[in-house]
């Protein structure tokens, strides 16, 4: 049976914070392996949960954003998203992030599930949502201090083509689009 775990679980001996920023912490956990009787330090990034939204306009276009990303020192085409604030549910966070980044609002929000972005080094979840019937709000976007965002609306066929051509390569965007595809196909 695939659900039955047949290997030993490492046990946490202690944990320390090495570096803390506004959006994540670098932490060290010292783990003990019960079978090997050894201890070892492992590093990971502690981060709040994230949300990524697939937004479809009343004209059946998918909303994407292009923004500069420091990690790759280049521009990234991706779906809108961000951090789930403390005491905020992921659906609310996704709707908020969508409006802040794009100026679009919608009236029908559905969960598309979650994923673990990279469990080897991150401890958080990424939530995927679908917002339908989106329209530009009268208030427009309200970017954070370091944001400058280009909003792009594409047909579903164009989005599929951009995925095939490698124009969309942000892993969480690709995962969200896959979940969206499963959702709309029922």
The answer, yes or no, to whether residue 27 has pLDDT greater than 90, is yes
Does residue 132 fall inside a structural domain? yes
The answer, yes or no, to whether residue 1 has pLDDT greater than 80, is no
Residues 78 and 103 in one domain: yes
Supply the CATH number for residue 74's domain: 3.90.79.10
The number of folded domains in the chain is 2
Does residue 176 fall inside a structural domain? yes
Residues 173 and 157 in one domain: yes
Query: Which helix or strand (DSSP H or E) is residue 56 part of?
Result: strand 50-57
Domain span at residue 28 reads: 11-46
The string of pLDDT tens digits covering residues 62-72 is 999 999 999 99
Does residue 2 fall inside a structural domain? no
Per-residue pLDDT at 142: 80
Beta bridge partner(s), residue 50: 83, 126
Q: d(Cα 179, Cα 45) in Å, to the nearest integer?
A: 25
Residues 78 and 41 in one domain: no
For 55, other C-beta atoms within 10 Å of its C-beta total 27
Q: In sequence order, what are the residues at sequence separation of 6 or more whose Cβ sits closer than 8 angstroms to the Cβ of residue 170? A: 76, 77, 78, 79
- When pLDDT is cut at 50, 70 and 90, the band that residue 2 belongs to is confident
The answer, yes or no, to whether residue 107 has pLDDT greater than 90, is no
The string of pLDDT tens digits covering residues 75-91 is 999 999 999 999 999 99
Nearest to 126 by CA among 114, 110, 111, 109: 114
Does residue 139 fall inside a structural domain? yes
Query: Which helix or strand (DSSP H or E) is residue 125 part of?
Result: none
Query: Which helix or strand (DSSP H or E) is residue 50 part of?
Result: strand 50-57
The string of pLDDT tens digits covering residues 151-162 is 999 999 999 999
Q: What is the Rg, in whole angstroms, of the alpha carbon atoms belonging to the chain?
A: 19
User: In 29-43, which positions are buried (b, 16+ CB within 10 angstroms) versus exposed (e)?
Assistant: bebeeeeeeeeeeee
> Interior CA angle at 169 toward 53 and 171, to 5°?
55
Phi-psi region of 133 (alpha: psi -120 to 50; beta: other; left: phi over 0): left
What SS3 class is residue 111? strand
Does residue 1 fall inside a structural domain? no
């Amino acid at each position: 049976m695939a659900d039955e775990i047949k290997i030993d679980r490492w046990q946490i001996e202690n944990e320390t914070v090495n570096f803390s920023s506004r959006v994540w912490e670098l932490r060290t956990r010292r783990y003990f392996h019960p079978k090997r009787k050894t201890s070892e330090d492992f590093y990971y990034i502690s981060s709040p949960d994230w949300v990524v939204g697939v937004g479809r306009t009343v004209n059946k276009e998918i909303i994407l954003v292009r923004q500069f990303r420091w990690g790759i020192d280049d521009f990234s085409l991706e779906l809108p998203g961000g951090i789930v604030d403390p005491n905020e549910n992921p659906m609310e966070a996704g709707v908020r992030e969508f409006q802040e980044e794009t100026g679009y609002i919608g009236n029908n929000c559905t969960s598309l599930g979650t994923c673990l972005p990279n469990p080897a080094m991150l401890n958080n979840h990424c939530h995927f949502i679908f917002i339908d019937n989106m329209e530009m709000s009268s208030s427009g976007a309200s970017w954070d201090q370091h944001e400058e965002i280009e909003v792009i609306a594409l047909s579903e066929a164009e989005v599929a083509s951009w995925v095939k051509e490698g124009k969309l390569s942000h892993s969480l965007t690709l995962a969200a689009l896959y979940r969206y595809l499963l959702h709309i196909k029922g």
